[in-house]
Each structure stands twice: as structure tokens, then as C-alpha cells.
Amino acid sequence: MSEYVERAKTYIEEGNVEEALKLARKRHGKDDTDSYINILNLLIDNDYLPALEEKGMYYQYYDPDHDDGDYGEKYFDEYLKKQPRSINVLCDKAMSRFNKGEIDESIAYMDKAVDKYKSYSSIEKPRLSKADVIMARIELLIQAKRYEDALKNLKQYENNFASTQKSDLYLGCMLQKNGENRQAIEYLDKSILEEDTLMAYNAKGDALYELKEYDDALKCYNHCLQYESKIDNDLELKTNFNYKAAYCCVNLGNDAEAIKYLNKTISMLNEHGRLPNDIEKIYQKCSFEKERIMKTGEVEDKEFKQSKFFSAKTAIIALIIIIILYLILIMNGYG
């Protein structure tokens, strides 16, 4: 047992459980996971509820395999048995269900958190305001790609609460998904004035693209490219602004510039092996468009110009020569 666990044990025996929890968090910050978990277990054994949520949060966000895919849910369940009106843990539970792919159940737990907000557990104060809980629920809808539901809830949010940068951003994005592009741009511009975000510029680019205002759309997509290195895990988003930048150039009659974006998109998707169906369709679309442009003979593909490719016949002849040379070396005792 580490010195930190012993120290936490002393804190608990003295009734200073808050100090023990602080110590656990410090050990977590130092990557001393064993001490962190052992201190939490001591606190849980002493019926200190915040330690139950803390342990669940660890498996929700930090543990590499999320406790074999449980995402801390069993600890949140144990907490809710004792405090079923806990807003904080109802939200935690919602995230566990979401991470397990149970979208409807996840939304239902967020609904419970909203419903119980007026009479939450007296032993704790919610970390989130009611407006924030509702916004968190909307974010789950957006992640689940339930855009119509998200738009409906965002409009209700706008009526009930003051607008924020986040609500303007999401409203703009959902209006764009709904084809209400002019109104979407109004909200996105409001959002951008408060914070320059990739999400806003991508959605604004899409709105302008749908309105056939390709020059302005291309400016938005080029702005997105500045942040590309920060979103390596979002292939769908990266693909969107890269390939649409190419098609902006096509529609503006600039095939030479379009080839640059097409090459980049094709190369990027080639690196990912098997692609989801929707992205595979984009890959094929870009490949066909590049082939169409190159057949015009009016554009030089500078990116691939330096690469020398043998014809199939030449490659076979070269292979035969290599084999013959290899056999000669063996016959002369060099094998």
C-alpha cells in the first residue's frame, strides 16, 4: 500500500473525506492510477458518494478500455440507487448509455435530468444549469445525427433562454442541414463573431455551396484547412471541406486548382483503407471528376508528374531480366 493510500486512510479515519478525495485527484493528475483507485475504493467503502461518481467518471473518460466497455455505468447505477434525483449522475448515466450506442435510452436519462431539476437531490448542487443540461441533451441529438429533433429543441431553447455562441452555432448548423441556408448563415455569422470555429466555417461553407455561391464557399473551406491538423479523428469533416473545395473550383471553372484539392482528398482517403459507404461514394466521385478533367488535356497534374510508372509490358520484361540475372549469379556460385 502506497504512502498516499496510507495518508488517505488517516484522513478518512479523522473524518476528513474531502481531503482524501483531493489527494486521490492529485494522484490521478500524477498518473498514479493505482493510488487513485485505491483511495476511491476506501472512500466508497466508507459510503462517500462523490467517490462513486469519481470512479465512474474515470472509467467513462480516462480508462483506455473503459472498464471493458462499461463506461462507468455500474458506479453511476450504484449512486442512483442511493440518490435517484442526482442531476449530475443522471447526466453521467446518459453518457454511458450513449457510449454504448443506446441513443434513445441516453436521451431518456437526459430528459429525467431536466424533469428533476426543480427537485434535485438536496445533498448536491448540479454542476450544470438547467439550460446547460438541455444543451447537453441537444448535443447528444446532434452526435446521433437526429438533426430534425435537434433543430426543434434548439428553437425551443432559443425561446426559453438567452442565445449563446453555442446555441447560435448549433442552430446555424441544424438550419443548414434542414436546407434553410440563408437563415443558417445569419446564425453562423453571429457565432463566428464570438468565436472562430471550424464547425461554423464548415457549415457556412456548406450553406454557401448549396446556394451556389462558390467563391465565398471556397473561402470558408480554405479557412477550415487551417485547422485540419487538429481533427485527425474526424474523417467525415475533413473529407467534406476538402472535396467540396475541389467542386467549388470546378464550378468556378478553375480545373487546375480543382486538381490540387482532388489529389489531396484522394490521397487522404487512400490512407484510410476501407471507407464507410458515404465516404466511399465521395472517393469515387472525386476519382471520376479527376479523370474527367485530365481527359480534357487542358490541365497538368503536377503532383504526379515526377512519379514514373512502368507499363505492364515494361514491368514484366524488367522482372524477367531480374530473374535471369539472379539465376546467372546462382550458377556462378553467388547464391
255-295 residue pLDDT tens = 999 999 999 999 999 998 889 999 999 999 999 999 999 99
Question: Measured between alpha carbons, how far is 2 from 6 in angstroms, rounded to an integer?
Answer: 6
pLDDT of 46-69, one tens digit each?
Answer: 999 999 999 999 999 999 999 999
**109-118, 167-176, 196-205: least confidently modelled range:** 109-118
Cβ count near 334 (within 10 Å) = 8
**163-172, 245-254, 299-308: least confidently modelled range:** 299-308
Higher model confidence: residue 280 or residue 319?
280
Please report which confidence band the pLDDT of residue 249 belongs to, taking 50, 70 and 90 as the band edges.
very high
Q: What is the pLDDT of residue 258?
A: 96
Whether residue 310 is predicted with pLDDT greater than 50 in this model: the reply is: no
Reported pTM = 0.77
- Rounded to the nearest 5 degrees, what angle is found at the Cα of 300, between the Cα atoms of 296 and 303? 135
Long-range contacts of 219-225 (CB under 8 A, 24+ apart): 221/245, 221/248, 224/198
Whether residue 305 is predicted with pLDDT greater than 60 in this model: the reply is: no
Q: What is the pLDDT of residue 318?
A: 63
Cβ count near 199 (within 10 Å) = 18
Q: Which of 142, 141, 146, 66 is nearest to 110 (CA)?
A: 141
Whether residue 180 is predicted with pLDDT greater than 90 in this model: the reply is: yes
Question: Measured between alpha carbons, how far is 63 from 26 in angstroms, rounded to an integer?
Answer: 17
Please report which confidence band the pLDDT of residue 211 belongs to, taking 50, 70 and 90 as the band edges.
very high
Average pLDDT over every residue of 67-89: 95
Average pLDDT over every residue of 185-203: 96
Q: What is the pLDDT of residue 326?
A: 63
Whether residue 122 is predicted with pLDDT greater than 80 in this model: the reply is: no
Please report which confidence band the pLDDT of residue 128 belongs to, taking 50, 70 and 90 as the band edges.
confident
Q: What is the pLDDT of residue 309?
A: 39
Please report which confidence band the pLDDT of residue 335 belongs to, taking 50, 70 and 90 as the band edges.
low
Q: What is the pLDDT of residue 210?
A: 98
**1-5, 141-145, 306-310: least confidently modelled range:** 306-310
Q: What is the pLDDT of residue 70?
A: 97
Question: Measured between alpha carbons, how far is 131 from 85 in angstroms, rounded to an integer?
Answer: 18
Question: Measured between alpha carbons, how far is 258 from 260 in angstroms, rounded to an integer?
Answer: 5
Average pLDDT, the chain: 90
